[in-house]
Structure 1
Amino acid sequence: MAKQQATTDKRQRRERGSLNPEDILDGAFELAEDVSLDNLSMPMLGKHLDVGVTSIYWYFRKKDDLLNAMTDRALEQYANEAPFIQASDWQVTMRDHARTMRATFLGNPILCDLILIRSALSPLAAQLGAQLTEQVIASLMEAGLTLDDAVDTYSAIQLHTRGSIVLQRLYDKNKESGIERGAYYEHLTISPETTPLLAEARTRGHHSGAPDDANFEYGLESILERASRLIEAGPPSTPRKKAAPAKKTAAGSATKAAPTRKPAAAAKTVAAKKTVAAKKPAAAEKVVAAKKAAAPRRSRSAARAE
């Protein structure tokens, strides 16, 4: 609070009509450092700038608009403080890039809150971010990685670095807000009786899951070693491709070969035909026998009539 009061005392009362967007952003960053980005409000900013809140709304209709403008400025500041510098050794380049990124965000919580945690980028800011990523990918490909491996390697470095930054920032924010629950890795129940391996590791300075320097460096070196092995192995004979999906018929089901008639079914059909053929002569013989039996009966009837 003392810092906020000193800042307010130093600020001269503004003349009517002298306020501009850059002055508002300057005041917003000053106030956010004192009260945090979450607690920053438009009325509070008006009081900090010694202007009516309606003067701020003339340039920024709501807090989100103000935060978007602050994010754009934060990205410009980050690009100036953590530029991508390509060294003669690609591993040195990537190692310095990751370490500088981490140090910059941890050293400026407002940048971290705006860029990594809030992560709402304007089209221009998103384009600048894509151009930086393109530059790093090109650098990794010059070192010998394929496009696929270069993208995967830089994605792993970004996720590892930003993840450790955000975890540390969330832990710090909880402490700033008076929440004493701490981080999950601080509350693991570790003892020589129940978890002897973790207990021994702790005595050696290891903290499992903590976003500290040792864990960050180990993860970064693991990613770089993996990329180095890929470069030494050389590019594959054929580029990686996704498996082609099975062709589908108009009904939507996968095309299948027409089923063939099973041998057993064919044998049954042949046997049935033979049975029918065998029955036909037997029926004919019965008809002939019936005619022969009827012939003597007609002769006897004729004799009686005479």
Structure 2
Amino acid sequence: MPKDTLTADQIVRAAIALLDEEGLDGLNMRSLGKRLGSAATAIYWHIKTKDELVRLAGDAVWDEIALPDLDTTDWRTATTAMATATHAMLTRHPWLGQAFGSHLLYGPNKARVDDHTLALHERAGFTPTEADQAAATLLLFTLGAALGPASEIALTRRLTRNGTDARQALADTMTHAARIAAPYPRLRERIGTTGYADAPENTFHFGLHAILDGLTARLAQHTTEH
């Protein structure tokens, strides 16, 4: 694809697809150019560095989060919808959680989601400071909940690139972990029913509703105080 027909949006969309398949370590301008049918040099006409490309890709995926109408949706329903959509987005793009710790990420799509989240909590009755804290709590929990599957994907890729049978390596690890857990009855019982990096079923929804129960209680306390 000649540079005069290549657009920044095309590059970012191709980068997201490559990141989804290969992770951060698999993203480079040569592989991206091959995917686009273009020379790597043509990409540099639009995007100067890999860091800039990751930032743009990292912001673009936040556009996948639908924003509930705050005039027609109650606080808890809207918060649940946004947290669930964010968790699903992070699961679809497992490289993004890793990018939070290795790249400077910002942009209009993330800003749009952040502002809507703050407005959601403020409308519910939280002070601006509390809205900030509630939004941060939910985001950190959601990121953490998506970390297990994302880390297993990244680990599997690394093992495979090193010539290791990733599936066998993970199975062997679980066998060793089961031996270590043998003296501990509660751990022993659970470790035989999960895979590497797996959380118990419905952990995300359990944790989300536990956080929302606590925030709901704080809102009720505000009501009684005023």
> What is the identity percentage for the equivalent residue pairs of Structure 1 and Structure 2?
20
The structural deviation recorded for 1:231 is 2.9
Quick check: 1:24 aligned with 2:19?
A: no
Shift of 1:164: 1.0
Measured against aligned partners, the alpha-carbon deviations of 1:101-155 in whole angstroms (never above 9, x if no partner) come to: 21222133355555x45552245456434413322322332xxx45554443333
Identify which of 48, 51, 56 aligns with 2:35. 48
Matched ranges for 1:96-111 at <5 A: 96-109=81-94
Aligned to 1:196: 185
Q: Distance in 2 between matches of 1:15 and 1:88?
A: 47
CA distance in 1, matches of 2:95, 2:191: 35
**Stretches of structure 1 lacking an aligned partner (at least 5 in a row):** 1-13, 239-306
Give the TM-score, by structure 2 length. Answer: 0.72
> Which structure would you say has the larger RCO, counting Cα contacts within 8 Å and 6 or more residues apart?
2
Q: Quickly say closer, same or farther: Cα 1:85–1:65, change in 2 above 3 A.
A: same
Question: Contact 2:2/2:42 (CA < 8 Å) preserved in 1?
Answer: no
Measure, in 2, the Cα distance between the counterparts of 1:204 and 1:217: 23
Label 1:51 to 1:219 Cα distance change in 2 as closer, same or farther (>3 A): closer
Mapped pair 1:62 → 2:49? yes
* Amino acid in structure 2 at the alignment position of 1:138: E
Match of 1:137 among 112, 121, 128: 121
Structure 1 residues 223-281: Cα deviation after superposition (integer angstroms, max 9, x where no partner)? 1222232233335869xxxxxxxxxxxxxxxxxxxxxxxxxxxxxxxxxxxxxxxxxxx
- By how many angstroms is 1:165 displaced? 0.8
Distance (Å, rounded) in 2 between the aligned partners of 1:211 and 1:52: 43
Matched letter for residue 204 of structure 2? F
Structure 2 unmatched runs, 5+? 160-165
- Displacement, 1:92? 2.7
- Spell out, residue by residue over 1:140-189, the C-alpha distance to the aligned partner (whole angstroms, 9 max, x if none): 32xxx4555444333322221111112321122112322535899x9363
Please, which of 165, 177, 192 is the counterpart of residue 187 of structure 1? 177
Q: Is contact 1:85-1:97 (8 Å) kept? A: no
**Pairs aligned (count):** 213
Whether 1:233 and 2:221 are equivalent positions in the alignment is: yes
User: How many Å separate the matches in 2 of 1:124 and 1:197?
Assistant: 46
More helix by share: 2
Describe the superposition over 1:47-92 as per-residue Cα deviations: whole angstroms up to 9, x where unpaired. Answer: 333333222222222222222222232232x23xx43454654333
Runs of 4+ in 1 over 6 A off after TM superposition: 203-207
Q: Corresponding residue for 2:154?
A: 173
The structure whose Rg is larger is: 1
Instruction: Give 1:137-286 correspondences, 5 Å limit.
Output: 137-141=121-125, 145-178=126-159, 180=169, 187=177, 189-191=180-182, 194-199=183-188, 202=190, 210-234=198-222
Q: Pairwise CA RMSD of aligned residues? A: 3.6
TM-score by length of 1: 0.56
Over 3 Å counting, the alpha-carbon distance change for 1:125 and 1:118 in structure 2 is farther
2:90–2:97: 8 Å Cα contact kept in structure 1?
yes
User: SS where residue 89 of structure 2 aligns?
Assistant: helix
Q: Which amino acid aligns with 1:68?
A: R
Once structures 1 and 2 are overlaid, which stretch shifts more, 161-170 or 49-58? 49-58
